[in-house]
Amino acid sequence: MRSVFALFALFGLLSFSAANSADAAEDVARNGNHFNSTLLPATPPGGTAEAAEKSGTQIIKEKFIEGDPRFMSLVLICLILGLAISIERIIYLNMATTNTDKLLNSIEGALASGGMEEAKNVCRNTRGPVASIFYQGLERSPEGLEMVEKSVEGYGGIQMALLERGLSWLQLFIALAPMLGFLGTVIGMIGAFDAIAEANNISPTIVAGGIKVALITTVSGLIVAILLQIAYNYIVSKVDAIVTDMEDASIKLIDLLSAHHLTKKQ
């Protein structure tokens, strides 16, 4: 877990440095443009020099401000927290993946050469939920095959809960991001109609601001939800694969213990 938090800290430091660099570059570009505007003739109409100079970070900043920071900040928080949970879960699940066939062969060799304690040491030195379940099964093997099955089943449920930890929060952010975007849409449309009522005139210039806020917040919320939904589906598929592997490996472990006559009750 320390390595995960260190990764998040490094990511935050790099993001902060990149933001500062972008701000500095923007200030330099603004001052340079002001200097050039006083000495050089203006760019003719229809020119694309200013648009070409804008970076992706500057465009995102402009859209963030145009979309009303009150709602865009909430959508951004959903994105940051959702990505943090997704990255942590992906790292955890990748570390929890175990080659069960290799582990079973190691346990079988340990049982043949060193007995039960040697097989337990193999499980202790192997990370992942499958090795933990195997250790519980080997620990209860002197009590009989029925106790081994109950122990494996019960501890398997605990490991499944650990694999799915944090997914409920990820689902919350997936649902919350577009809802916040739609809330910004409604607020923007209300502002547009208020502007029409105050001006007593239906003009594209009057309603453009409110409609623009509505569209930007909606698009932002949908983009965040799509990104987090992709991460969520990947995580769920990894969890399902590990759970299936756990169930298959548990059956093989019971067969292995029965074959070596290490249980009292058959």
Domain final residue pick, 33, 66, 99 = 66
Task: Give yes or no: residues 53 and 78 share one domain.
Answer: no
DSSP state of 127: -
Task: Give yes or no: residues 30 and 100 share one domain.
Answer: no
Task: Give yes or no: residues 97 and 53 share one domain.
Answer: no
Report yes or no on whether pTM surpasses 0.95: no
Contact 122, 110 (CB under 8 A): yes
Q: Encode burial over 45-76: b for 16+ CB neighbours within 10 A, e otherwise.
A: eeeeeeeeeeeeeeeebeebeebbeebbebbb
Task: Give yes or no: residues 102 and 19 share one domain.
Answer: no
Per-residue pLDDT of 192-219, as tens digits, reads: 777 777 777 666 666 666 677 677 888 8
How far is Cα 226 from Cα 245, in angstroms, rounded to an integer?
29
Task: Give yes or no: residues 101 and 152 share one domain.
Answer: yes
Instruction: Return mean pLDDT, the chain.
Output: 74
Task: Give yes or no: residues 164 and 100 share one domain.
Answer: yes
Domain count, the chain: 2
pLDDT value at 80 more than 90: yes
Task: Give yes or no: residues 93 and 204 share one domain.
Answer: yes
Domain final residue pick, 66, 92, 123 = 66
Please tell me the predicted confidence (pLDDT) of residue 6. Answer: 41
Task: Give yes or no: residues 136 and 98 share one domain.
Answer: yes
Contact 257, 148 (CB under 8 A): yes
Task: Give yes or no: residues 251 and 153 share one domain.
Answer: yes
Task: Give yes or no: residues 266 and 168 share one domain.
Answer: yes
Residue-range definition of the domain harbouring residue 12:
1-66
